[in-house]
């Protein structure tokens, strides 16, 4: 049975499929299309080692809705609501996604996204409503005090680009919201 759960964030949904295991391996349901009214144009796979942190990323033009599923491993997935007219503007939501818990996160347009890789090897599958356009990419620094994301207390592996992302206050001045 496929389950859809709402969060306190408007249109941010958790999808939980089933896993059917036997001695050969497993068959896992990712999504039932009737549960997501959006169409996805673009798909990517990301592979990350343990302790890798990616994000918080967003596109301010050609915004993307995302369906995020962990195919292998386990991640702490986090989003920030950047929708200026949302009652949860500036608030963070986090969830554990793993190959074993069969959960996927549907993130509507207007959110910044990040994740922390918990296991030795993590493979994340994204379905996106719009194409990646680096000209309109921006982000918020993972360590910004105003965001106050609760990352594990370990040596994080973060790209130079992500370390240089701006603050949430800077985002509000520059973009005023999405």
pLDDT over 80 (residue 2) = no
Question: Which entry of 57, 106, 115, 142 is annotated as an active-site residue?
Answer: 57
List the helix and strand counts (H, then E) for the chain.
Answer: 2, 14
Is the predicted pLDDT of residue 42 greater than 70, yes or no? yes
Confidence band, pLDDT 50/70/90 cuts, at residue 40: confident
Contact 99, 71 (CB under 8 A): yes
- Res 36 pLDDT > 80: no
Catalytic residue, chosen from 62, 126, 142, 175, is 126
The overall average pLDDT reported for the chain is 92
CB 162 within 8 A of CB 82: no
Over residues 35-62, the mean pLDDT reads: 90
Q: Percent of the chain having pLDDT more than 70?
A: 94
Residue 175 annotated to the active site: no
Question: Catalytic site residue 126?
Answer: yes
Q: Mean pLDDT across the stretch 82-111?
A: 96
pLDDT above 90: residue 172: yes
What are the contacts of 87-96 at 24+ separation with CB within 8 A? 87/10, 88/8, 88/9, 88/10, 89/177, 90/146, 90/147, 90/168, 91/9, 92/147, 92/148, 92/149, 93/7, 93/8, 93/9, 93/12, 94/149, 94/150, 95/14
Tokens of 133: 């356009």
């Amino acid at each position: 049975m496929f389950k859809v759960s709402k969060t306190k964030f408007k249109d941010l949904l958790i999808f939980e499929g089933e896993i059917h295991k036997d001695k050969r391996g497993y068959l896992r349901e990712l999504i039932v299309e009737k549960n997501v009214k959006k169409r996805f144009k673009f798909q990517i796979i990301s592979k990350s080692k343990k302790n890798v942190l990616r994000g918080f990323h967003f596109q301010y033009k050609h915004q993307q809705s995302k369906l995020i599923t962990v195919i292998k491993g386990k991640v702490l997935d986090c989003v920030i609501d950047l929708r200026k007219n949302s009652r949860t503007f500036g608030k963070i939501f986090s969830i554990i996604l793993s190959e074993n818990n069969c959960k996927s996160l549907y993130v509507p347009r207007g959110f910044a996204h990040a994740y922390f890789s918990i296991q030795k090897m993590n493979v994340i599958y994204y379905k996106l409503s719009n194409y990646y356009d680096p000209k309109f990419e921006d982000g918020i620094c993972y360590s910004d005090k105003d965001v106050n994301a609760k990352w594990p207390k370990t040596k994080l592996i973060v790209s130079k680009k992500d370390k240089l992302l701006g603050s949430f206050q800077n985002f509000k001045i520059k973009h005023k919201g999405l």
